[in-house]
Each structure stands twice: as structure tokens, then as C-alpha cells.
């Protein structure tokens, strides 16, 4: 499932985040790449232990906790501390698949990467190129979203970032370990949850909707790994 999540950050959070990013100490992005990814990765990245990255990460994590669409789609069990990158001057990231597990640099806990997330801090009118291209069984999907919006997609997907030929593409990226590791099951639960919400807004609660809600929770109970 590939999903656009709008307005993850408020305008005030976005403005504050961009101010932090402007003065942050950018470093070579290959420092955090795996051996294969490092061969095709050309970008800048914030060191996770710098003050700006820590403040930005806390801001993003707080925004995720209040976002019901993110919760419904990702069913998060753990969220890897958000990272921040910048592409400019022809930088790109070639085709790759994200590492299956990553160690949280602060807690040392292992996080299984079920859902990949990119949250944009610059809008599509501020740079040229830089599309996130995600490949799945239905073909190629190009993603270039407004600042403050986020895209989710399965971490099993082959994906890349096209070269940025003008301006700068700045984003946060991170991974979620889901309570439901299988993408097909997560997609089914998300569709069911969305349908329940739409029916409740349109018709209110009734016996059929109560039964459908019970089925959702019983499926989640059956599949959840917590």
C-alpha cells in the first residue's frame, strides 16, 4: 500500500522545522547507508546526535502520534527516530531496498522496517527533479508532495530518488515496525477501518456497523504482534 498522508505538520511546525534545517550541520549521507546502498546514495544528512536533529525528530514523532491516518495505515509498534536528508546539485539515490532491521541509535533496540515514510519539508515548486519513485507489482509510482505532507509505502519496495537538478529537496525519512508485519493484511485492515469511519459519518452507528467494527478488531487481535 502506498498512501499520501496530508498535513502531518502544522504551518507553525513546518516554519520552525525549516529554520532549524537552515542552520543544521549537514554531513555526507553515505555514513548511515548499508554497504549496497552506499554505492548509489548521493545526498546530505543530519547527524542524529546533533541538537537540531534531536529537536526535529521530537517534533515529527509528536506529529505522528496525533495523526489518525498514519496510525490506521501503519499500525505502529515502534518508530525509528526520524532522519533528515537534503538533495541538491544533481544528488540522487539509486534503486535500493531499505535494510530489513535497524538499531535505534539511542535505545539500542532493533526495529524491523515494515513501512517506509518520507515527510517533505520543501514543496515541489522549490526544486526540480527529486521524485521518489516506488516500484511495485502495478508499476512505477512517482511521488512529489507538498511541504508538510508524507508518503507511506512498504519497506520491501524497490525505490529511488531522482536527481535534483535545481533547488533543494529536504525531507524527513524513517521506518515503522508495524503491529501487523504483512502489507496485504495491513492494507485490508486500513480499507476496513476507512470504510467503517465513512459509514459512521454518513449513517451513524447501527447493528451492522457494530458487527463490522467487531470484525475489524477481531482481525487485528488475530494478526497483531505486540
DSSP structure string for the chain: --EEE---S-HHHHHHHHHHHHTS--EEGGGGS-TTGGGTEE-EE--TTSHHHHHHHHHHHHHHHT-HHHHHHH-EEEEPPPEEEEEETT-EEEEE---SEEE-TTT--EEE--EEEEEESS-GGGEEE--EEEEETTEEEEE---TT-EEEEETTSEEEE--EEEEEEEEEEEEEEESS--HHHHHHHHHHHHHHHHHHHHH---HHHHHHHHHHHHHHHHH---
Predicted confidence at residue 82, as pLDDT, reads 98
Percentage of residues in the chain with pLDDT exceeding 70?
A: 96
Extract the annotated binding site for Fe cation.
96, 98, 159
Contact criterion met (CB below 8 Å) for 14 and 147: yes
Extract the annotated binding site.
96, 98, 159, 169
**How many whole angstroms separate alpha carbon 177 and alpha carbon 90?**
32
pTM of the model: 0.93
Segment 63-104, tens digit of pLDDT: 999 999 999 999 999 999 999 999 999 999 999 999 999 999
Extract the annotated binding site for 2-oxoglutarate.
169
Predicted confidence at residue 30, as pLDDT, reads 74
User: What's the chain's length in residues?
Assistant: 226
Please, which pLDDT band fits residue 122 given cuts at 50, 70 and 90?
very high
Predicted confidence at residue 36, as pLDDT, reads 61
Percentage of residues in the chain with pLDDT exceeding 90?
A: 92
Segment 24-58, tens digit of pLDDT: 999 998 766 655 666 788 999 999 999 999 999 99
Predicted confidence at residue 123, as pLDDT, reads 98
To the nearest 10°, the Cα dihedral for 135, 158, 105, 146? -20
Segment 126-185, tens digit of pLDDT: 999 999 999 988 899 999 999 999 999 999 999 999 999 999 999 999 999 999 999 999
Predicted confidence at residue 29, as pLDDT, reads 82
Phi, psi (degrees; rounded to nearest 5) at 141: -125, 125
Average pLDDT, the chain: 95
Amino acid at each position: 500500500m502506498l498512501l499520501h498522508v496530508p498535513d502531518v505538520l502544522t504551518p507553525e511546525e513546518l516554519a520552525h522545522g525549516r529554520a532549524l534545517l537552515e542552520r543544521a550541520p549537514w554531513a555526507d549521507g553515505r555514513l548511515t547507508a548499508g554497504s549496497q546502498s552506499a554505492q548509489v546514495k548521493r545526498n546530505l544528512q543530519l547527524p542524529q546526535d546533533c541538537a537540531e536533529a534531536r529537536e526535529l525528530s521530537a517534533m515529527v514523532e509528536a506529529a505522528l502520534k496525533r495523526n489518525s491516518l498514519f496510525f490506521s495505515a501503519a499500525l505502529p509498534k515502534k518508530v525509528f527516530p526520524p532522519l533528515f536528508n537534503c538533495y541538491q546539485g544533481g544528488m540522487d539515490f539509486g534503486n535500493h531496498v531499505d535494510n530489513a532491521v535497524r538499531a535505534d541509535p539511542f535505545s539500542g533496540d532493533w526495529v524491523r522496517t515494515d513501512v517506509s515514510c518520507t515527510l517533505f519539508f520543501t514543496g515541489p515548486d522549490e526544486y526540480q527533479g527529486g521524485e521518489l519513485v516506488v516500484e511495485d507489482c502495478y508499476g512505477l509510482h512517482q511521488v512529489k508532495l507538498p511541504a508538510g505532507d508524507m508518503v507511506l509505502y512498504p519497506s520491501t519496495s524497490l525505490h529511488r530518488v531522482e536527481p535534483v537538478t535545481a533547488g533543494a529537496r529536504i525531507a524527513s525519512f524513517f521506518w515503522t515496525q508495524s503491529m501487523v508485519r504483512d502489507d496485504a493484511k495491513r492494507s485490508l485492515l486500513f480499507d476496513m477501518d476507512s470504510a467503517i469511519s465513512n459509514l459512521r459519518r454518513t449513517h451513524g452507528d447501527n447493528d451492522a456497523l457494530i458487527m463490522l467494527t467487531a470484525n475489524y478488531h477481531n482481525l487485528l487481535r488475530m494478526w497483531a504482534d505486540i
